[in-house]
């Protein structure tokens, strides 16, 4: 393999094809893999996911990928979690106030919560994303740009400084998070038209060092 390829993690919990397609269309070197060696050698890792937190963690553990993802995240190289791939970075998923799956990757402090029952769930469609801080992931993306969402749970970071952007659905929730080399988005950039592809391009530029994080 070419060592400049960004890896899209084939975790078995997402259709990784659409993220791969988007990066390929952008002419970004990309490969889908679940091999530890390839992942650890890559300059950047994208972790897409859909579905539920408990099934997601279970599948990841079964393949031993939880350890690989953690190792990569700790390597200080750029990491982007998408949807469930972002949620799994947190500590636990909670429902009804008590934590039931205290076994996220615990790379970021905080939990994952379900939207209140008054709201139509899943939250599906195009919603606006409002960055709270200047960050290269949102370069050339106007504030309040629309991104495509489809999810029933959202992350509640324990530390405010980890919230990169918010979106309103009933209340404001964290639609993008950051902590050093770790970045995560709740929406699907690969399905979010021009803004989404710009965000993926920005991630690639961070990976190849054209833009500094922080």
Catalytic residue, chosen from 123, 135, 151, 188, is 188
Q: Are 138 and 130 within 8 A, CB to CB?
A: no
Nearer to another protein, 18 or 99 (CB): 18
Contact residues for another protein, defined by CB under 8 A: 15, 17-18, 21-22, 24-27, 50-51, 120, 122-128, 140, 146, 148, 150-151, 168-169, 190-198, 201
Taking the complex as a whole, the smallest distance from the CB of residue 136 to another protein amounts, in Å, to 14
Query: Which two structure tokens, joined as six digits, stand for 37?
Result: 């060696």
Nearer to another protein, 64 or 194 (CB): 194
Taking the complex as a whole, the smallest distance from the CB of residue 193 to another protein amounts, in Å, to 5
Nearer to another protein, 180 or 193 (CB): 193
Catalytic residue, chosen from 94, 123, 151, 190, is 190
Instruction: Say how far apart CA 73 and CA 107 lie, in whole Å.
Output: 8
Catalytic residue, chosen from 38, 74, 83, 205, is 83
Nearer to another protein, 22 or 107 (CB): 22
Query: Which two structure tokens, joined as six digits, stand for 123?
Result: 């939250």
Instruction: Say how far apart CA 105 and CA 188 lie, in whole Å.
Output: 21
Nearer to another protein, 17 or 102 (CB): 17
Taking the complex as a whole, the smallest distance from the CB of residue 125 to another protein amounts, in Å, to 4
Taking the complex as a whole, the smallest distance from the CB of residue 11 to another protein amounts, in Å, to 15
Instruction: Say how far apart CA 130 and CA 2 lie, in whole Å.
Output: 36
Taking the complex as a whole, the smallest distance from the CB of residue 67 to another protein amounts, in Å, to 27
How many CB atoms lie under 10 A from the CB of residue 78?
A: 26
188 a catalytic residue: yes
Active site residues: 83, 188, 190
């Amino acid at each position: 393999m070419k060592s400049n390829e960004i890896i899209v993690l084939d975790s078995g919990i997402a259709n990784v094809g659409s993220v791969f397609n988007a990066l390929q269309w952008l002419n970004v070197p990309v490969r889908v893999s679940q091999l530890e060696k390839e992942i650890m050698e890559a300059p950047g890792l994208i972790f897409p996911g859909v579905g539920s937190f408990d099934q997601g963690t279970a599948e990841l553990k079964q393949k031993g990928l939880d350890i690989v993802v953690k190792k990569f995240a700790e390597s200080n190289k750029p990491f982007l979690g998408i949807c469930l791939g972002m949620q799994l970075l947190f500590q636990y998923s909670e429902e009804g106030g008590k934590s039931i799956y205290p076994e996220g990757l615990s790379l970021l402090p905080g939990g994952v919560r379900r939207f209140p029952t008054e709201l139509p769930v899943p939250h599906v469609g195009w919603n606006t994303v409002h960055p709270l801080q200047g960050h290269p992931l949102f370069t050339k993306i106007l504030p309040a740009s629309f991104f495509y969402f489809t999810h029933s749970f959202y992350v509640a970071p324990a530390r405010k400084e980890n919230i990169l952007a918010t979106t309103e659905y009933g209340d404001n929730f964290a639609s993008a998070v950051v902590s050093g080399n770790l970045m995560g988005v709740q929406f699907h950039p690969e399905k979010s038209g021009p803004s989404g592809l710009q965000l993926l391009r920005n991630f690639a530029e961070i990976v190849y060092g054209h833009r500094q994080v922080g």
